[in-house]
Amino acid sequence: MQRLGTARWLAIAGIAVLVAAVLVLVWAALQHANPESAGGEAEPVPTFTLGVQTQSPSPTPTANSVNLEQTRFLSIGSEIWWRATAGSCTGPAPVVERSSDQGKTWANVTPAYLGIAQVQTLEAFSARDAELVAAMAGCEPQALRTYTRGEFWASYPDVLAASRYIDPRDPGSVRLASGPVAAPCPSAHGLHAFGDVVALVCNERAWSWSGDDWVALTPEGVVAVSVDDSDVLVAHRTDDCAGVAVSRVSAAATPDSASTIGCAESPDPASPAAIAKFGDDVIVWSGESMSSIATTGR
């Protein structure tokens, strides 16, 4: 019995020694990971710039700088109007809206539940139905259609194959049904296509696709384009208009093909805008307002 008692005490003593050793090691590790400063006070958490020098000067904005995330789209059916902001695969989400009262009020119908990341085109293909080319997860483009006034959207691969749009991963590349072609600049935006006419904006200039190359159209200071039959409608800044001027230009850029339609009020003519034909009028979405320019008699 005495031997058993002695063995038990020896075991307890061994365990106590091991516990003490573990506590010493833990204390030493904590001291190594959190050393005290010379004054005995906690030091501030270090900050990192991830390679960005905060003291370096910011680049000076140029007249050609474009925030692609804020690119706007507008398309009008006889019953439902549609509009959208582009958004970005790596930034803010796009917003898709519809109006059943000719632009007086708008309802958000963004298919966020599908993981939409960026809008590339928007088109009303019937009185109340619309389709868009959008970048989804991984910035992969899909063509989405709605037959329920925007309540539900579904992917249509055959529509995507026939669509014309700017590559969401490379704004310097345009996808045509025949294959990709280089855009006129590295940051093309606002592409619209109808029939054989494809138009976009590059460096504040409107361009149309001839089938072999891009053709620069007459107006400068361009903020948006749309297509009306074989012509391109161009929204642009001009000294003759305090807001946004709209001109009609032949897609073939023939001599003297440009004609001014009118001027729409805008608090900031250089801000993102979108235009669309509606009957005999051109609707201009600039700032928070929707303006109408009559084309009759011009």
Percent of the chain with pLDDT strictly greater than 70:
77
**β-bridge mates for residue 216, sequence order:** 207
280: left (phi over 0), alpha (psi -120 to 50) or beta: alpha
User: What average pLDDT does this structure show over 249-268?
Assistant: 87
Q: Which two tokens stand for residue 18?
A: 């091991």
pLDDT-based confidence at 25, cuts 50/70/90? very low
Per the CB < 8 A criterion, the answer to whether 202 and 184 are in contact is yes
Please answer whether residues 197 and 251 qualify as being in contact, where contact means their C-beta atoms are separated by less than 8 angstroms.
yes
Q: What is the share, in percent, of the chain residues with pLDDT greater than 90? A: 69
**Residue that the structure tokens 């003593």 belong to:** 13
List the single range of 52-61, 128-137, 202-211, 234-243 with lowest mean pLDDT. Answer: 52-61
pLDDT tens digits for range 181-216: 999 999 999 999 999 999 999 999 999 999 999 999
Whole-prediction pTM:
0.77
- The partner residues of 259 in beta bridges, in order of sequence, read 248
